[in-house]
Amino acid sequence: MTQAAEFQEQANLPAHGTEPDKGDWRKYFGFSTDHKVIGIQYLVTTFIFYLVGGVLATMVRTELATPESDFVSREVYNSLFTVHATVMIFLWIVPAGTGGFGNYLIPLMIGARDMAFPRLNAIAFWIIPPAGILLMSSFLVGAPGSGWTSYPPLSLMNGKPGELIWILSVLLLGTSSILAAVNFIVTIFKMRIPGMGLNQMPLFCWAMLATSFLALIATPVLAGAMILLSFDLMVGTNFFNPTGGGDPIVYQHMFWFYSHPAVYIMILPVFGMISEIVSVHSRKPIFGYKAIAYSSIAICGLGLIVWAHHMFTSGTPPWLRMFFMITSMIIAVPTGIKVFSWLATIWGGKLRLESPLLFAMGFISLFVIGGISGVMVASVPWDIHVHDTYFIVAHLHYVLFGGSVFGLYAAFYHWFPKMTGRMLNETWGKIHFALSYVGFNLAFMPMHKLGIEGMNRRIAEYDPKFASLNLLCTIGAYLLAISTLPFLVNVCWSWVYGEKASDNPWRGLTLEWMTTSPPPVENFEADPVLATGPYDYGMGSRATEVDVPFSDASDPALSAGPSSTLRAKPDPAVAVSPSDRVGESHNR
Amino acid sequence: MNIPSQITTLLAGIVLTLVSFWYGQNHDLLPISASVESIRIDSLFNLMMTIGTGIFLLVIGVLVYSAFKFRRQPGDDSDGPPVHGNIPLEILWTAIPAIMVLGISILSFDIYNDNGGADPMDHSMAHGKASHQMATMPGSAMAGTLMAQADPNQQKAAEVNQDPTTAAIREDLPQKKDAPTLGTVSPKIGGAEPGAPEFVVNVAGMQYAWLFTYPGTEVVAGELHVPINQKVLVNITANDVIHAFWVPQFRLKQDAVPGRQTEVRFTANRLGEYPLICAELCGAYHGAMNTKVVVESAEDVQKWIQSQQVASAEGLSKAVATTPATMTETEYLAPYAKEVGISADTLKQLHSDHHSMS
Amino acid sequence: MTGSTLDSAKTVLNHHPEEDVVVAHGVEHHDFRLLGIIVFLVAEGMIFLGLFMAYFTFRSVAPTWPPEGTPRLELLLPGINTAILVSSSFVIHNADTAIKKNDVKGLRLWFGITAAMGAIFLSGQLYEYFHLEFGLTTNLFASTFYVLTGFHGLHVLFGLMLILGVLWRSLKPDHYNTNSHFGVEAAEVYWHFVDVIWVILFLLLYIL
């Protein structure tokens, strides 16, 4: 029986690249304007920073293995967690998800030859290494130690050079993020192949569109806060210094206006990638394409009006507390739609339980815990108890590590063959998954209890009654640190000696699989086409009945099969299935 | 597609519900509850825990079941069924979470209000008792006229500072005023019991200690003593950086913000000593900035205050003899530093740091 | 399962007419650059919006505003300055009209006038700075005043440089013409943006 992937590949033979990229390693060290080179530059650079951030995290956990402050000085401890958070957010998850995978995949997925502004793209990348090195160099002059939130007046009193370096590197990284966002928005709107309407884009493109809007709107406000903070720090103005009549709460508002959406900037691209991976590896269409696509947009919109839930215990008046509680709660709804849709996609599929899907399913299970604790902390009375405690530390790591990082790993395993032309070793992938899953839960699950019981965050020393749980967390953290090694070895070895990958090893339908692995310099020989929709696994005509409650193939609103209104349709001009050749082609 | 029979599904649903309900009540995650305010907060958490456990088990159940049941058979390269989505199902799993979070929101709102959340009248009423206590103090008449046109936050600052002991330990910072659109700048939390507070304490957070003053008693102490079953009001501010006043056993937390007067109100209902923790990063020794709150009988509180008065009389007379104006902050605070358990050296070092930087 | 045969007539669509083929690799796509500028200006606008909201909040929660002892701001010079900047937006639009008629001389004339007006605005701004009775750190109002106007002034300066850059390039024959004048449009859009920001800034700092 012929499968959807074969139809899509046949229809795209004219577009298929003829010559895989030679892969001269030197181009990765230069100012290349090829989006694929830039994407890999992003991924490698950010992964190095991830390792740096991981070392810092391991040091933090070493300090916390015992109740006393005995491993490093208290000042250094504060710097460790400050720089750890800054690195993980600004130098790993944000640039890896958007800059790395976004750059590599978006043009391929929409059938373009490159991003809309290739040189701007390269500039956005080349801001990152100097900004990262700048941040690291702060350890030479006394690293910033006011937390990644850098709340004044504390941040104005700790060491000035470190704080100034922190501000500068955040400004640089913010600029890079804005430039990348401009590029993605224009690329996605303007460079899709003829025949690909917005509702036919892969879900990762939707996610990147939502992410880019968030980055575009929210990041500048952080820049504004940084400008004012640097004036307070260097010139002695009093914007945020209460001694001179300034207001530290204004900083908190400006900071969180960016930093809450930043969470969505970190998780939305991963949502998009999980949608791709879950569908391909379950051999089933994504369940509720449009519901998932539009929920990304809903999260983007709502994400901009929830920021003050980080300030329920600071100078926030009652009506603001209530408003932000309700908006924060509502965000759980579009997020829930995604989670349930992924589960429905997996349900009844033919699961290829290899590393990409393992990490994707691990992602779902861990993200759900982060989501549930997220709803809890959105509730004002509960948040007032657990705000600034280890409960929050647990929550944010379940979202950003169990969520974003597990998702990024899934993406690495899924797209590595496309990027390098070689397969990753599956056994080592499974070992990597098992170690990180166990290590992660060991490290972060007990923190929920610690926080509720009364352990506040950002402390170098704590009540001895918390000692045993903390030791458990530290052991988990070490396991998590070790779990990176199989991945590193696997990637380095497979990149050079790995089994050669075919052009479409997972038999996916999205357009990045319709060219060589790795793709040639300009991706395609001609514009690729959507002979099938991006998720038409199992094919079938519009009359196909499927076994789903309430389903009726004759009514598009009720149908769960190919006639469903929620489906991403192929281009009618070239569709394989005659029943899909109705209606007008979009974007032509 | 392989759907388990109706009966199995039903049974699984019942088990899931029962386990969730059981775990929601028996999670053993919460510390002892020692205030009236914490009772409803705990019940809210138990409810959220029940729902959370249900959702968690559902998701994990589906994932684990699928991993075994729907694993691809070796050699089977065909695709699964073309299921693209279903609007009734989407509506179902949009509506149910929406109803759940709205329900939790309404309940949270209710509990928040019960705990003295959004009552605009409270703000002015709360000080009735406190001002009465201070009416006999010199300078109150003048402060009173000033207060008439002032803003709640400034009024509160003026009121609290009528107690000379409190004024002495508080940094004199410009006080914010309420904004017409943004609302009050001096938020508060707690106060499940209606009516004016029966016991007032003022506290100032500073690197790295809490200093409590008990208006009208000249006592400055490093720990909080409150009578059981009385409505307590703690007036909070900070002298240098932001701190946060947190008593886990009361489930209450409020930031101490320089330039703003915030407050926590509670009725402690369990005798004992509980940790009082600074929950907002305030510098290198943040982890050491904690003390205790002692809940005891009203008589014991009075006894303790008297013993403190004897102890601090010495320090105070010293302070009067050498005019405070000519003293440095360090010298002035030294007697209290002993109280809060910081060495004089630390204090000196901290304050010199503080001055050299500001 | 249906549709197992491919309609070869349809796949011909893979081959696009020459004009559809994207321009050579590494070259910005001309059509998208203006959209790119506009999207970027949204981000720029958000920085200003953030600063405006901060100003608004400082003002709302301060006990007195402007803080006691702040001298009143002179309105005459900034008023004239505002009039100059606002009218320059109309002037620069003439340049756009001119180049659309392939009138490079007109373009140079109108851009020249706009540049002069921008320069006058900046000099007026500097004159005001030197004659104000308060400095950057005098009080919160003074600090917000200098940071907001200064940050805007930097944008005017950048806009001025864009305009001068376009003027310089317009000296090359046929650099700009009816069909290709992205630089002109970019400079104009940017100038309008700077202008709108100034109007809000003026209302916020001087009038309210």
Per-residue confidence at B119, pLDDT binned at 50, 70, 90? low
Q: Do A151 and B280 touch (CB under 8 A)?
A: yes
Contact between B234 and B20 (Cβ < 8 Å) = no
Residue of C nearest to A544 (CA): C1
Contacts of C63 in chain B (CB under 8 A): 151, 154, 174-177
In the CATH scheme, what architecture does the domain A37-513 have?
A: Up-down Bundle (1.20)
Residue-level pLDDT at B198:
92
Residues 6+ apart with CB under 8 A from A540: A546, A561, A562, A577, B82, C1, C2
- Report which of residues B215 and C21 the model is more confident about: B215
3-state secondary structure of B211: strand
Cα B353 to Cα A270, B350, B357, C59: the distances in Å are 45, 5, 6, 31
Average pLDDT, chain C: 84
Contact between B104 and A325 (Cβ < 8 Å) = no
Which of B155, B177, B261 would you mutate first to test chain C, the one with the most C CBs within 10 A?
Answer: B177
- Which of B24-38, B146-160, B308-322 reaches the highest mean pLDDT? B24-38
- Per-residue pLDDT, averaged over A509-529, amounts to 92
pLDDT digits (tens, 9 = 90+) for A170-193: 999 999 999 999 999 999 999 999
Residue-level pLDDT at B182:
64
Q: For residue A153, say if its preceding peptide bond is cis, omega within 30 degrees of 0.
A: yes
Q: Which two tokens stand for residue C124?
A: 């007026």
Residue with tokens 């001025």: C160
Which candidate from C1, C42, C47 shows the least CB-CB separation from A224? C47
Contacts of B259 in chain A (CB under 8 A): 242, 245, 247-248
A419 has pLDDT over 50: yes
Residue-level pLDDT at C12:
39
Residue with tokens 């006639």: A563
Cα C58 to Cα A378, B183, B235, B237: the distances in Å are 27, 13, 24, 19
> In this complex, is the C-beta atom of A190 within 8 Å of any C-beta atom belonging to chain C?
yes
- Report which of residues B54 and B183 the model is more confident about: B54
A104 has pLDDT over 50: yes
Which candidate from A156, A322, A454 shows the least CB-CB separation from B277? A454
- Closest of A228, A401, A260, A247 to residue A327, by C-alpha: A260
Q: Do B185 and C63 touch (CB under 8 A)?
A: no
Residue with tokens 């609103």: A557
pLDDT digits (tens, 9 = 90+) for B61-97: 999 999 999 999 988 888 999 999 999 999 999 999 9
Interface of B with C in 115-174 (CB under 8 A): 151, 154, 174
Q: Which two tokens stand for residue B225?
A: 């003593």
How many angstroms separate the CA atoms of B209 and B224, rounded? 12
Q: Do C63 and B175 touch (CB under 8 A)?
A: yes
Residue of B nearest to C140 (CA): B174
pLDDT digits (tens, 9 = 90+) for A476-495: 999 999 999 999 999 999 99
> In this complex, is the C-beta atom of A588 within 8 Å of any C-beta atom belonging to chain B?
no
Contacts of B73 in chain A (CB under 8 A): 350
Please give the ipTM for the structure prediction. 0.94
Per-residue confidence at C22, pLDDT binned at 50, 70, 90? very low
Cα A282 to Cα A105, A274, A353, A360, B333: the distances in Å are 21, 12, 9, 11, 68
Q: Which amino acid is at A554?
A: S
Q: Which two tokens stand for residue A266?
A: 């970190």
- Which of A82-96, B257-271, B307-321, C65-79 reaches the highest mean pLDDT? A82-96
> In this complex, is the C-beta atom of B176 within 8 Å of any C-beta atom belonging to chain C?
yes
Residue of A nearest to B86 (CA): A560
Contacts of C62 in chain B (CB under 8 A): 176-177
Contacts of C4 in chain A (CB under 8 A): 2, 7, 576
Q: Do C62 and B176 touch (CB under 8 A)?
A: yes
Contacts of A171 in chain C (CB under 8 A): none
Which candidate from A373, A454, A460 shows the least CB-CB separation from B287? A460
What sign does the CA torsion over B322, B326, B330, B333 have?
positive
Beta-carbon pairs below 8 A across chains A and B? 355
pLDDT digits (tens, 9 = 90+) for C150-188: 999 999 999 999 999 999 999 888 888 888 888 999 999
Interface of A with C in 560-579 (CB under 8 A): 573-579
> What percentage of chain C has pLDDT greater than the value 90?
57
Distance, CA of A202 to chain centre: 16
What does the longest C-alpha to C-alpha distance in chain B come to?
94
- Per-residue pLDDT, averaged over B333-340, amounts to 49
How many angstroms separate the CA atoms of B323 and B106, rounded? 56
Average pLDDT, chain A: 93
How many angstroms separate the CA atoms of A251 and A219, rounded? 14
- Per-residue pLDDT, averaged over A518-522, amounts to 91
Contact between A450 and A465 (Cβ < 8 Å) = no
Give the number of other CB atoms < 10 A from CB of residue A524: 24
Residue with tokens 């012929």: A2
> In this complex, is the C-beta atom of C97 within 8 Å of any C-beta atom belonging to chain B?
no
- Per-residue pLDDT, averaged over B225-231, amounts to 94
Lowest mean pLDDT among A472-476, A500-504, A555-559, B229-233: A555-559
Residue-level pLDDT at C21:
41
> In this complex, is the C-beta atom of B178 within 8 Å of any C-beta atom belonging to chain C?
yes
- The alpha carbon of residue A135 is apart from the nearest alpha carbon of chain B, in Å, by 20
Residue-level pLDDT at A57:
96
Contact between A507 and B79 (Cβ < 8 Å) = no
pLDDT digits (tens, 9 = 90+) for B315-334: 655 544 444 444 444 554 55
Q: Does an H or E element contain A116, and which?
A: none
Helices A203-234 & C140-170 angle (0-180, nearest 10): 120
A376-379's contacts with Cβ under 8 Å and 24+ in sequence apart are A376/B45, A376/B48, A376/B52, A377/A309, A378/A309, A378/A325, A378/A328, A378/A329, A378/A332, A379/A325, A379/A329, A379/B44, A379/B48, A379/B104, A379/B105, A379/B108
- Per-residue pLDDT, averaged over C42-64, amounts to 92
Give the bridge partners for B220, in sequence order.
B213
> In this complex, is the C-beta atom of B175 within 8 Å of any C-beta atom belonging to chain C?
yes
User: What DSSP letter does each residue of B49-76 carry, written as one string?
Assistant: HHHHHHHHHHHHHHHHHHHHHSBPPTT-
- Per-residue pLDDT, averaged over B238-263, amounts to 93
pLDDT digits (tens, 9 = 90+) for B168-197: 888 888 888 877 666 667 777 877 778 888
Which of C55, C57, C61, C140 would you mutate first to test chain B, the one with the most B CBs within 10 A?
Answer: C61
Contacts of B177 in chain C (CB under 8 A): 61-63
Residue of A nearest to B357 (CA): A157
pLDDT digits (tens, 9 = 90+) for A310-339: 999 886 778 888 899 999 999 999 999 999
- Per-residue pLDDT, averaged over C34-44, amounts to 95
Per-residue confidence at B2, pLDDT binned at 50, 70, 90? low
Buried b (16+ CB within 10 A) or exposed e, C100-112: beebbebbbebbb
Distance, CA of B305 to chain centre: 24
What sign does the CA torsion over A348, A350, A353, A358 have?
negative
Contact between B279 and B253 (Cβ < 8 Å) = yes
Residue-level pLDDT at B64:
96
Lowest mean pLDDT among A2-11, A348-357, A553-562, B349-358: B349-358
Dihedral (C-alpha) B233, B238, B244, B249: value to the nearest 10 degrees? -30
A473 has pLDDT over 80: yes
3-state secondary structure of C202: helix
- Report which of residues B158 and A91 the model is more confident about: A91
Residue of B nearest to C64 (CA): B177
Residue A84's Cβ-count burial label (10 Å; 0-12, 13-18, 19+) is buried
B279 has pLDDT over 70: yes
- Closest of C51, C197, C149, C56 to residue A221, by C-alpha: C51
Which of B78, B176, B358 would you mutate first to test chain C, the one with the most C CBs within 10 A?
Answer: B176
C17 has pLDDT over 50: no
Residue A252's Cβ-count burial label (10 Å; 0-12, 13-18, 19+) is buried
Residue-level pLDDT at B312:
67
Contacts of A575 in chain C (CB under 8 A): 3, 10
Residue-level pLDDT at C179:
83
Q: Do B281 and A158 touch (CB under 8 A)?
A: no
Give the bridge partners for B225, in sequence order.
B294
Residue of A nearest to B111 (CA): A381
Interface of B with C in 182-211 (CB under 8 A): 182, 185
Domain boundaries of chain A, sorted by first residue? 37-513
> In this complex, is the C-beta atom of B2 within 8 Å of any C-beta atom belonging to chain C?
no
pLDDT digits (tens, 9 = 90+) for A423-461: 999 999 999 999 999 999 999 999 999 999 999 999 999
Which of C46, C55, C57, C60 would you mutate first to test chain A, the one with the most A CBs within 10 A?
Answer: C46
pLDDT digits (tens, 9 = 90+) for B124-140: 333 333 443 443 444 44
- Closest of A450, A366, A353, A442 to residue A401, by C-alpha: A366
How many angstroms separate the CA atoms of A180 and B91, rounded? 35
Domain boundaries of chain C, sorted by first residue? 33-62+77-207
Residue of C nearest to B151 (CA): C63
A168 has pLDDT over 90: yes
How many angstroms separate the CA atoms of C86 and A478, rounded? 62
- Report which of residues C127 and B319 the model is more confident about: C127
3-state secondary structure of A196: coil
Q: Which two tokens stand for residue B346?
A: 């630390």
Q: Which two tokens stand for residue A219?
A: 């990041």
Q: Which two tokens stand for residue A302?
A: 């709502």
pLDDT digits (tens, 9 = 90+) for A211-270: 999 999 999 999 999 999 999 999 999 999 988 888 899 999 999 999 999 999 999 999
- The alpha carbon of residue C63 is apart from the nearest alpha carbon of chain B, in Å, by 5
Residue of B nearest to A149 (CA): B281
Q: Do A365 and B60 touch (CB under 8 A)?
A: yes
- Report which of residues B2 and A514 the model is more confident about: A514
Please, which chains are in contact with C (at least 3 CB pairs closer than 8 A)?
A, B
How many angstroms separate the CA atoms of B352 and B295, rounded? 36
Helices A248-282 & C30-61 angle (0-180, nearest 10): 140
Residue-level pLDDT at B128:
39
Q: For residue A152, say if its preceding peptide bond is cis, omega within 30 degrees of 0.
A: no
Q: Do A156 and B288 touch (CB under 8 A)?
A: no
In the CATH scheme, what architecture does the domain C33-62+77-207 have?
A: Up-down Bundle (1.20)
3-state secondary structure of B194: coil
Contacts of C57 in chain B (CB under 8 A): 179, 182
Read off the pTM: 0.90
- Closest of C190, C192, C147 to residue C52, by C-alpha: C147
Please, which chains are in contact with A (at least 3 CB pairs closer than 8 A)?
B, C
Residue-level pLDDT at C23:
41
3-state secondary structure of A351: strand
Per-residue confidence at A38, pLDDT binned at 50, 70, 90? very high
